[in-house]
Structure 1
């Protein structure tokens, strides 16, 4: 596969999330994965195989009511092998509240996905982001607690 072909698979994966887990041909986002694929997501862990990936998607997807990725601003890195890295931003609505990259600057919405794609299937997708979409976890981080206080001190 070429880098552009691998990129098209990664884009289909990201766009499926914007469509509630449905691919452009009406299939499931799970169809994009190899049978023995692995997905890593912070605070969820490592899912191996389509069954576990389905559980992960149901768990995390069940907390998100809307997501929109900002495609025009994506940064792509190609390794010359099967690895494709995509860095980007998003906004949406989580059960705990909305998020938008950059609002606040320290909040959720910036992410980086590392894909390994072979034979038109995602073999591995490791997601790096802050899973506290609504920015509620501020008390454990003194600098965020200060920024979130009314005085901002």
Structure 2
């Protein structure tokens, strides 16, 4: 009975910890959950010690997390001797506005080990992937393949990047689409650049970012349909139809299109967008 009471008190302390984290309530009672010499570990953050270390960790997390919440009611508690181990799930929003997990690669699962000294937390080691939003693409692919020297690896990598590209473009996923591109890019969208400033060649990630800004100022998308995407190793082709209103001319342009991609080391290095640029030039008068 005595051990049972101790275990319940410790479980209550752990639950209180997560409730305060979720509510952002880092008050005196929060710090009083820990011993003066408490030890914390978090992947890629490393170790910290004492209540000051707990505070520094909280500030670090606040630097990239807007909010976080844990599914406390579904926690799996493992209690033994001086330990309470939590297996559970979490979700939240990054400072960029992106919500996680995506339930495709990141599932929000975590495990935390709490070691107690009487009724205070003496050690808290958190085991979770800090890449909560599945942005660490290269490592994800390496972890899921035995080798990166075969054709299937490159095909899977290319498929993943292109899917992410169109998910962001269609608003299915939050993200900066320009970050999918390498620093140096072979980009080409043929057209009359004097009339249509978003067309032409580009060579850097920053120029790619400028393209999407120029496009949104000059073009209103009415329809963008992909018929198919074909992937072969590092190379891919997407084909479809689009309908766009060219704002300067207040006219709608319809065309079929083909996009040629090349992906290397998890980044797009080639993007050629081919449409009926002659028809565009003739119709926009």
User: Could you say whether these structures have the same fold, taking a TM-score greater than 0.5 normalized by the shorter chain as the test?
Assistant: yes
For structure 1, list consecutive stretches of 5 or more residues without a partner in the other structure: none
1:6 to partner: Cα distance: 0.6
Offset of residue 136 of structure 1: 1.0
Residue 12 of structure 2: which of 8, 14, 26 is its match?
Answer: 8
Is this contact kept in 2: 1:98–1:133, CA < 8 A? no
Counterpart Cα distance in 1 of 2:58 and 2:117: 21
Cα distance in 2 for residues equivalent to 1:4 and 1:105: 36
Q: Tell me, in whole angstroms, the C-alpha distance in 1 between the residues paired with 2:136 and 2:47.
A: 22
| Partners of 2:33 and 2:121 within 8 A in 1 | yes
Alignment correspondent of 1:131 = 130
Alpha-carbon spacing, 1:149–1:31, altered in 2? closer, same or farther (3 Å): farther
1:131 counterpart SS class: coil
C-alpha displacement at 1:148, in angstroms? 4.9
Provide the rounded CA distance (Å) in 1 between the counterparts of 2:40 and 2:89.
19
Of Structure 1 and Structure 2, the greater helix share is in 2
Quote the residue 2:116 is aligned against: 117
Q: In 2, are the aligned partners of 1:108 and 1:130 still within 8 Å (CA)? A: no
**Closer, same or farther: CA 5–129 of 1 in aligned 2, 3 Å:** same
Measure, in 2, the Cα distance between the counterparts of 1:113 and 1:136: 23
The correspondence of residues 20-59 of structure 1 with structure 2, limited to 5 A, is 20-22=24-26, 27=28, 29-59=30-60
Q: Which structure shows the higher strand fraction?
A: 2
Match of 2:90 in 1: 90
Residues paired across the two proteins, number: 147
Partners of 1:2 and 1:41 lie apart in 2 by 27
Q: Distance in 1 between the 2:37 and 2:104 partners?
A: 37
TM-score by length of 1: 0.84
Moved more, 40-49 or 61-70: 61-70
Structure 2 unaligned segments of length 5 or more: list them.
145-155, 164-228, 232-285
| Structure 1 pair 90–131 and aligned structure 2 pair: CA distance change class (3 A) | same
- Within the alignment, does 1:104 sit opposite 2:90 as a pair? no
Give the TM-score of the pair, scaled to structure 2: 0.47
Deviation of 1:140 after TM superposition, in Å, equals 3.0
